[in-house]
Amino acid sequence: AQKVTQAQTEISVVEKEDVTLDCVYETRDTTYYLFWYKQPPSGELVFLIRRNSFDEQNEISGRYSWNFQKSTSSFNFTITASQVVDSAVYFCALSEATAAGNKLTFGGGTRVLVKP
Residues that bind other proteins (CB under 8 A): 32-33, 35, 37, 42-47, 50, 52, 91, 93, 95, 97, 99-109
C-alpha to C-alpha distance for 46 and 23, rounded to whole angstroms: 17
**Closer residue to other proteins, CB minimum distance, 53 or 76:** 53
Pick between residue 19 and residue 36 the one whose CB is nearest to other proteins: 36
Minimal distance, residue 17 CB to other proteins, in Å: 27
Measured distance CA(82)–CA(113) in Å, rounded: 10
